[in-house]
């Protein structure tokens, strides 16, 4: 199955080695590579502050939880075929629902972070579905074990419940 995704920055062996360095008493095993669905939105902004301003702002909406995140730069995306050991997660949100969340997210960010005399005008200029890679890892320490999800781009991780 073909998807648009980001290039994996940290491979399986690098992930386990870095986790082992942080927790030498534990054993780490990569269970699976999963691809989370995201939607990228980029907007053109026109504002009237003291001086007229124009620019662009972007965000991503994670299509399972609906969480938004401001992005500084567009992610570098590639097309690839997902291998049989990996899993592409299904979206829980439609593109229309994600677009609504993105517009609200951008408007909230603009009004909270920047001071405007009038409400800025935003216009969608780009929308793209893509998948971000994550490693599912099992950590074993003695008789205890739990699972982690590790971002294959940034190495950010947190426990899975």
- How does pLDDT run across 117-141, given as a tens digit for each residue? 667 788 999 999 999 999 999 999 9
Q: Is 75 within 8 Å of 40 (Cβ atoms)?
A: yes
The confidence score (pLDDT) of residue 116 equals 63
Phi (first) and psi of residue 116, to 5 degrees:
-115, 145
- Buried b / exposed e along 16-33 (16+ C-beta atoms within 10 A): beebeeeeeebebebeeb
State the residue range of the domain holding 86: 2-160
The confidence score (pLDDT) of residue 51 equals 59
Q: Would you give the end-to-end CA distance of the chain in angstroms?
A: 29
Q: What is the mean pLDDT of residues 69-73?
A: 91
Q: What is the mean pLDDT of residues 16-35?
A: 96
Phi (first) and psi of residue 20, to 5 degrees:
-60, -40
Average pLDDT, the chain: 91
- Checking if the pLDDT of 1 tops 90, the result is no
- Checking if the pLDDT of 53 tops 70, the result is no
- Residue 45: pLDDT band (50, 70, 90) is confident
Number of domains in the chain: 1
């Amino acid at each position: 199955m073909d998807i648009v995704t980001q290039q994996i920055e940290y491979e399986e062996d690098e992930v386990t080695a870095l986790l082992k360095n942080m927790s030498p008493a534990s054993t780490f095993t990569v269970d699976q590579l999963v691809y989370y669905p995201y939607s990228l939105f980029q907007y053109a902004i026109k504002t009237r502050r003291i001086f007229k301003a124009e620019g662009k702002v972007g965000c991503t909406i994670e299509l399972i939880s609906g969480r938004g995140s401001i992005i500084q730069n567009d992610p570098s995306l590639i097309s690839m075929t997902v291998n049989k050991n990996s899993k592409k997660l299904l979206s829980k949100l439609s593109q229309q629902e994600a677009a609504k969340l993105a517009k609200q997210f951008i408007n909230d960010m603009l009004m909270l972070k920047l001071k405007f005399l009038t409400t800025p005008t935003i216009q969608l200029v780009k929308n793209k579905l893509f998948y971000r890679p994550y490693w599912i890892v099992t950590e074993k320490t003695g008789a205890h074990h739990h699972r982690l999800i590790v971002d294959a781009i940034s190495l950010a991780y947190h426990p899975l419940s």
